[in-house]
Structure 1
């Protein structure tokens, strides 16, 4: 719940004699003035969370109420981060967004286990103390010097006071009989006011620095969450980079190696024609050329299969066209239904095609199905949108067959780093924050729902690339259906 103490950024230094006249000093005073109301409200919220949480903790509903109140402390954190950015030059990034759990107990655990909410709650009490004490000290050390410097003009309007010896005095009284009503004492008091005025920025700065420390170390992300965020963003980029790399490999194989093999095959074909039967041929040259010609054609077939496995070129025409081609080549009757306008990022479409290919192959090879139905439609998002993201629909791929059923997912049998059957497909779907749901009662057919985001999220939990997903597009020969 705590984070390592991180020193806040050091503001620009202001010299001693420039302190009372520097913009920084008055901006920090404005921060203390503006923060007194949020500090009072924050203290009240702090007490409410404690009172309600303790009094209702014995009921499940009370735990939810306490959790929602605790979640509300995030609003105070956002307000103080905004004030710090505007007036203290402290740009603190927001903590990790709240992620709602699934199920009754999952939601309760998410509410009560939200670390940023607890840290914001812990911020409220010390922030109130620092804000109140800092504001009182600052106001006193600003108002008192101004009064002392102008005292010589307005002290004459003060009421007369009687000293212990019976004499009457008009002025400020210190102690029992010491009145500031002579020129020497008036100048002495003015000098004291000047000293207080030049000390004010340093005292104020101390309280503001404490406030900076609280904002940086309690309202921002922890180092662990920052590291996780960086890894998630880098993994999300890795998925996109892997798909781009697969595109380049497919293009290079198609335009480079394959083209050269075609030229060799043509040359061998011409040589074979010139070495026609009936002509004098040295040794077994004709047979050797024929074998080389056949081997070259076989290599071309294998090269086409490799290129298709890396990234099927048919995907360039869109997911709907690629699935139509898959259905036409399927060994079983495949009924395809793709809703118009459903499109996603190239990496997501490649993964959806890989999933469909593997599931159709499973239905034909392991489930002994006679018909497979493939449906592609919009779906609800697989996760709540992160701050700054627009809520968007996701892509649902549903593959259903009338086979023998009984399919299961056994993640323990999936080798690390590559997919194997349904277990490997689950891992590849999870890599982009997607979900896979399997319903396969024995004898009742199999239905698999794959929900994928429309774009590769920056927070993907794992992104070893789409090589494994692309490998499945060859028809699931890497053990597809091994989980059945």
Structure 2
């Protein structure tokens, strides 16, 4: 959403954390380090690490066998179909891995870009599979994941078994003297010396070491699964280019819808405002023409009223033209244009514009209409007595901030005008951030990409 900062890739509430993790953390009495070995999240991560080894063996075996077979058969007509089938199988297995990561790690990764076959037929499908970057990334995942899965499986099993075995050692050390013929677990032994863990002090130290390993294991396993998250997200998800294309397609739809809505608004304002007034004006002038011979004074009065209607219609047309694109913005820039908007606001507004140069006309226009709409909200809803507008540049970003001392409670996610404004900014890679606690003050900050004005 364009009104939020800090989006994490495909995750609920951060990298694998549930959305309410912070609130749950505050409700628990025991610290996280003591709860971690018993939480469901730890057991799911352990299960993921244990399953990774057999699954990665199957993935690796399939990928290497099929790709080797396809590469060896390239000298014949069978090589390309076998290689395409190998890549298609890797894509299908990749969807299984995404589902496993979503179920056990809470990692939500979008589907990669679909195959785009130009025409129907096996040849076109094979060409699409071989040209797809997602297919080759799935193959790379199948090859690279095996060594990591072996390492992750070994570390997880070793730490988990060692930790719990040492922690519970005081409860089962009697097995050694009863069934193994020795005093306890052997710590060291050679031909002349043997050291067994058999007295109360050694049992206590062993249990403490086991406790430390048990408490540390969830965090180590979590660090290991973070690597899995990165691999799944980077190799089995959509590429950055494909994601960007989807964003641009969505933004294009927003721009088209916004332009259509603006045209409908202009048509409605012309039809209900200036056009209706001009029609009434024509009728009044026709009546005045008929009255001119019979009652000159009445005709003069009607002409005088028509003159007033002409002035009103001209003002409405000026307002409409200003709403499309004000001349002061084109001629004098944001400083003068925003000062003009502030002068029409219902509350006193202080305007500060600190820009080294003018941005591109498109960005300048969006900045103008953003501030205009925010000041309209201040006039209509904020019940404020003062507002301020600040415009400045930070590196390659144009920053806008509108602050008022009103009652607050503005919410961009409630389907209000702020939501539409956020979508319009998002269409040009902009961001809208609303900070409006109940009781005020309200602070709305907008970021736009800085694009310098091209010289004429």
1:92 to 109, 122, 134: 109
- Report how far residue 96 of structure 1 moved: 2.2
Structure 2's unaligned 5+ residue stretches are 1-8, 26-30, 297-302, 304-309, 311-426, 428-456
1:257-304 per-position Cα deviation (integer Å, ceiling 9, x unaligned): 33223223223333444457xx999xxxxxxx9xxxxxx9xxxxxxxx
* Residues 14-29 of structure 1 mapped to structure 2, 5 A cutoff: 16=33, 18-29=35-46
1:221 aligned to 215, 228, 238, which one?
238
**In the alignment, what sits opposite 1:56?**
73
Which among 73, 87, 99 is matched to residue 70 of structure 1? 87
Residues 251 and 243 of structure 1: CA distance in aligned 2, closer, same or farther (over 3 Å): same
- Counterpart among 173, 176, 181 of residue 155 in structure 1: 176
What is the CA distance between 1:233 and its match in structure 2?
Answer: 0.6
Which structure has the larger Rg over C-alpha atoms? 1
Contact kept in structure 2, 1:101 and 1:109, CA below 8 Å: no
Shift, 1:61, TM fit: 4.9
- Return the offset for 1:235: 0.8
Q: Following TM superposition, by how much is the alpha carbon of 1:72 offset from its aligned partner in structure 2, in angstroms? A: 2.6
| Whole-angstrom CA distance in 2 between matches of 1:260 and 1:280 | 25
Answering whether residue 134 of structure 2 is matched by residue 116 of structure 1, we say: yes
Shift of 1:16: 5.0
Residues 336-347 of structure 1 correspond to what in structure 2 (within 5 A)?
A: none
SS in 1 for 2:238: coil
Distance 2:176 2:33 in 1: 30
The alpha-carbon distance between structure 1 residues 46 and 204, as it changes in their structure 2 partners (threshold 3 A), is: same
Aligned to 1:136: 154
Residue in 2 aligned with 1:180? 196
Seen in structure 2, the aligned counterparts of structure 1 residues 266 and 195 have a Cα distance that, compared at 3 Å, is closer
Residues 59, 265 of structure 1: CA spacing in aligned structure 2 closer, same or farther, 3 A cutoff? Answer: farther
Q: Report 1:65-464 matches (<5 A).
A: 65-102=82-119, 106-148=124-166, 149=169, 150-160=171-181, 169=182, 172-173=185-186, 174-177=188-191, 178=194, 180=196, 182-183=198-199, 189-274=206-291
Maintained 8 Å contact 1:96/1:221: yes
1:36 has 2:53 as partner: yes
Once the two structures are superposed, residues 305-350 of structure 1 have per-residue CA deviations (whole angstroms, 9 ceiling, x without a partner) of: xxxxxxxxxxxxxxxxxxxxxxxxxxxxxxxxxxxxxxxxxxxxxx
Structure with the bigger percentage of helix: 2
Query: Residues 237 and 143 of structure 1: is their aligned pair in 2 closer, same or farther, counting only changes over 3 Å?
Result: same
CA-based RMSD: 4.0
- For residues 338-375 of structure 1, the C-alpha deviation after alignment (integer angstroms, 9 at most, x for no partner) is xxxxxxxxxxxxxxxxxxxxxxxxxxxxxxxxxxxxxx
Helix, strand or coil at the partner of 1:72? helix
Q: TM-score, normalised by structure 2?
A: 0.50
Q: Secondary structure at the match of 1:158?
A: helix
Aligned residues: 273
Deviation digits for residues 394-452 of structure 1, max 9, x if unmatched?
xxxxxxxxxxxxxxxxxxxxxxxxxxxxxxxxxxxxxxxxxxxxxxxxxxxxxxxxxxx
Q: TM-score of the superposition, structure 1-length normalised?
A: 0.48
- Matched residues in 1 for 2:175 and 2:295: separation? 131
| Paired residues of 1:64 and 1:108 also in contact (CA < 8 A) | yes
1:9 alignment partner in structure 2: 15
Q: Return closer, same or farther for 1:68/1:249 CA change in 2, 3 Å cut-off.
A: farther
- 2:59 and 2:143 in contact (8 A); partners too: yes
Question: Match of 2:365?
Answer: none
